[in-house]
C-alpha cells in the first residue's frame, strides 16, 4: 500500500460535518433515554472506538465504559460468520443498562452472537447504537435502537472502519475502490 491513502478512495459517502451532527443528535437521544439509569457503554473494538469516543462526549449523564474485541472478518472484506471474542468485558453487567456501540451492522451475525452472549449475563436492558447499517446484507433480524446512517452495500472505510487495519483515521466515511483489495 502506498502512503497516499486517498489513492483508493472512490467517493466520500458521509462528510466530517455530517458525522459531527449525527453524533450530537445520537448523544442527545441517549441522554434523554438513559436518565436515572445505570448506563454501561460497551465499545466493540477496534472499529467503533472513534465513534464511541465522540459519542460519550455528547452523552450528558453519568456512565461507565467497557470494551470488547469481537472478530468475524480478519483481513477480509466479508464476514466469515465465525465469531470469536478476543477481549471480553472487564465489568459485570448484571442488572446494568448496557448500550453496545458498534461501527457497522452488516450481516448481523456477529452482533446476534454478541447480543445472545450479553443477554446471558443478566443485564437489566441491552440496546444497540450503530453508526452505520447495511440492511441489504442482513442475514439475521437485528435492528439498532440508535442509528447514524443506513448505507448501500459498498465497502466503506474511515471514522474507525478499516481495510486490513488501514484507513481508520480518515475523518469521513468513504467507499474504498475495489482495486485496493482485489489483488
Q: What is the dihedral of CA 32, 57, 173, 150, to 10 degrees?
A: -10
Q: 63: which DSSP letter?
A: -
> 106 an active-site residue?
yes
CA pair distance 91, 89, nearest whole angstrom? 6
Cα–Cα–Cα angle for 129, 97, 56, nearest 5°? 50
Q: Pick the catalytic residue from 97, 103, 106, 162.
A: 106
Nearest to 141 by CA among 116, 119, 109, 118: 109
Please name the residue that has the C-alpha cell 465465525.
82
Q: For the chain, give the number of residues.
A: 183
SS3 49: helix
Catalytic sites, residue numbers: 106
Amino acid at each position: 500500500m502506498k502512503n497516499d491513502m486517498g489513492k483508493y478512495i472512490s467517493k466520500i459517502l458521509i462528510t466530517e460535518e455530517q458525522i459531527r451532527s449525527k453524533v450530537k443528535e445520537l448523544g442527545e437521544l441517549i441522554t434523554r433515554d438513559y436518565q436515572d439509569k445505570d448506563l454501561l457503554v460497551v465499545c466493540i473494538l477496534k472499529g467503533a472506538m472513534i465513534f464511541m469516543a465522540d459519542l460519550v462526549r455528547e452523552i450528558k449523564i453519568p456512565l461507565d465504559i467497557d470494551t470488547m474485541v469481537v472478530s468475524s472478518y480478519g483481513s477480509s472484506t466479508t464476514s466469515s460468520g465465525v465469531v470469536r471474542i478476543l477481549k471480553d468485558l472487564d465489568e459485570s453487567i448484571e442488572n446494568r443498562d448496557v448500550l453496545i456501540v458498534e461501527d457497522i451492522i452488516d450481516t448481523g451475525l456477529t452482533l446476534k452472537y454478541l447480543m445472545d452472549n450479553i443477554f446471558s449475563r443478566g443485564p437489566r436492558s441491552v440496546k444497540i447504537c450503530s453508526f452505520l447499517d447495511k440492511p441489504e446484507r442482513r442475514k439475521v433480524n437485528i435492528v439498532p435502537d440508535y442509528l447514524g446512517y443506513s448505507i448501500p452495500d459498498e465497502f466503506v472505510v474511515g471514522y474507525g472502519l478499516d481495510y486490513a487495519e488501514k484507513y481508520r483515521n480518515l475523518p469521513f466515511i468513504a467507499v474504498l475502490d475495489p482495486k485496493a483489495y482485489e489483488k
